[in-house]
A and B are shown apart, each in its own frame.
Chain A
Amino acid sequence: MQKVFFNLDRETQKQILETLIFASEQPITLDEIADIIENKLEFSDFPTSNFSIAETIHLGEYLLGLIEEINHDLESSNRPYQIINVANGFTFATKNEFGKILGSLPQFRHKKRFSKAMLETLAIIAYKQPITRPEIEEIRGTNSSDILNVLLERNLIKIVGRKETIGRPFMYATTIEFLKTFGLNNLNELPNLDEIRALVETKNKKEELTLKIDFGEEQQQSSIQ
């Protein structure tokens, strides 16, 4: 089947690709696209081109090239949206200046609003998932049930099961919506925890250092006096 897709003329290939991305509710991955065009589609209705592509070409790379071209077409016809790569897949998203318009509408503004507590809780879940509420509260040192409800309601986290400990608490994990909201492809794009730990330690040490310097100056002053 793949050959058949390759035999279509390039404009048709782009249209098919755009259709798949357009119709997908969540960002569609290259693997999903490849599976559909290789195994699930009939192309007999479409005109084929005589131009044949070398069979050795890598399908994923080829699709990426097509997506790039679609974006170029959108750009040159002044469309206010682009295909972007997020949550490991491809989806349509507004361009900056037009997204601003939506951002001023109350229902969207609400979606973009995050409290400190929400971000903290999301950060913990992102690294420690699947994680239970008591485990989150141990790190934050404070009750987190309301925050978890808000995050669930906003579809940023989901319940992925129960932990087989006392009380069988729910376990939470982040969602595709989380990746989309923070512009991530996958969780590996989050900063490395060891690096963050090192950064925090340097910051702490620096404060310690300034403390010692202050102390040193005081000593000097007193010795001058």
Chain B
Amino acid sequence: MYKIVLPIFEGPLDLLLYFIKRDEINIYDIPIARITDEFLNYLNMLQELDIEIASEFLVMASTLMEIKAKMLLPSEKQPEGTEIDDPRRELVQQLLEYQIYKEVSNYLEANLRQTHNLFFRGIYESEIAEISSNYKTYKPATVYDLAKSFYNLITKNQKDGFHEIRMTEYKLEDAISNILQVLQFERQISFRKLCATTSRQILVLYFVAILELIKQKKLYAYQSDYEEDIFLFLTSNLPRN
């Protein structure tokens, strides 16, 4: 039995900083050949373990090799007094910049320990929790989510038999005002419930009405998870921020 422990790196810069720290490398004078080897060895190891390598690691590998190549080439003659442009300069700048934000994230982490047991009086989350009943989180539903939901409904409501076209008195305006009316009394409407009992024609009307209201920014659609029901909220009922 093998147990492989891999440190988690947030990206190629993080990995480079790890090498620099581990081997006590001077960041202002990086031995580029050595660190390129380290970097490539690491990627090879990932490959052997059959772990997919993110493209940014490959980009970094090529950057490192480019720098290495440049450093091997004899530099062009520079006019007197001007400094030779170090091919590593840009990379070092990037590493230093990244180090700064890593340091800030340490500060944020320390703050989190302070506020760990701090909970604020809040309205928003408890109301959302009410709808979801357990610990689901809601995310904004896209037009595609709506379309998919609609498709499921329309295929479910399909009946066999003769096809007959009848004029309906029901208009798009009616569907819109109906939705808005319900939302005067209810905080949210379930998309499935809204379309559960109506005929196919009215279903289409409701769907167009919802799209129209979303376009007018009067409605918001939320969904807890892929293929879950979609809830519609009035924009004015949503918390600010």
Contacts and interface: CB of A to CB of B under 8 A. Distances in A.
Nearest to B111: A182
Interface string B133-175: 0010101000000000000000000000000000000000000
Contacts of B75: none
Interface residues of A, number: 62
A116 B26 contact: no
B3 to A, nearest CB: 22
Interface residues of B, number: 50
A92 interface: yes
Given A116-B105, A204-B27, A107 B129 contact: yes
Residue of B10, B24, B96 most packed against chain A (CB within 10 A): B10
A158 interface: yes
B28 A204 contact: yes
Interface in B71-116: 94, 96-105, 107-109, 111-112, 114-116
A161 interface: no
B214 interface: no
B26 A112 contact: no
Interface stretch (B39-47, B119-127, B185-193, B196-204): B119-127
A47 B56 CA distance: 69
A181 B131 CA distance: 24
A114 B104 contact: no
| Main secondary structure on A side of the interface with B | helix
B14 to A, nearest CB: 8
Contacts of B105: 116, 119-120, 122-123
Interface in A81-128: 81, 84, 86, 91-94, 96-100, 102-103, 106-108, 110, 112, 114, 116-117, 119-120, 122-124, 126-127
B11 A184 contact: no
Contact of A22 (B26, B112, B121, B129): B121
A175 interface: yes
27 contacts: A25-B122, A25-B123, A26-B240, A84-B118, A92-B121, A94-B118, A97-B117, A122-B105, A127-B101, A139-B94, A139-B98, A141-B56, A141-B98, A142-B12, A143-B54, A143-B56, A153-B137, A182-B111, A183-B115, A196-B100, A197-B96, A200-B96, A200-B99, A200-B100, A204-B26, A210-B24, A211-B24
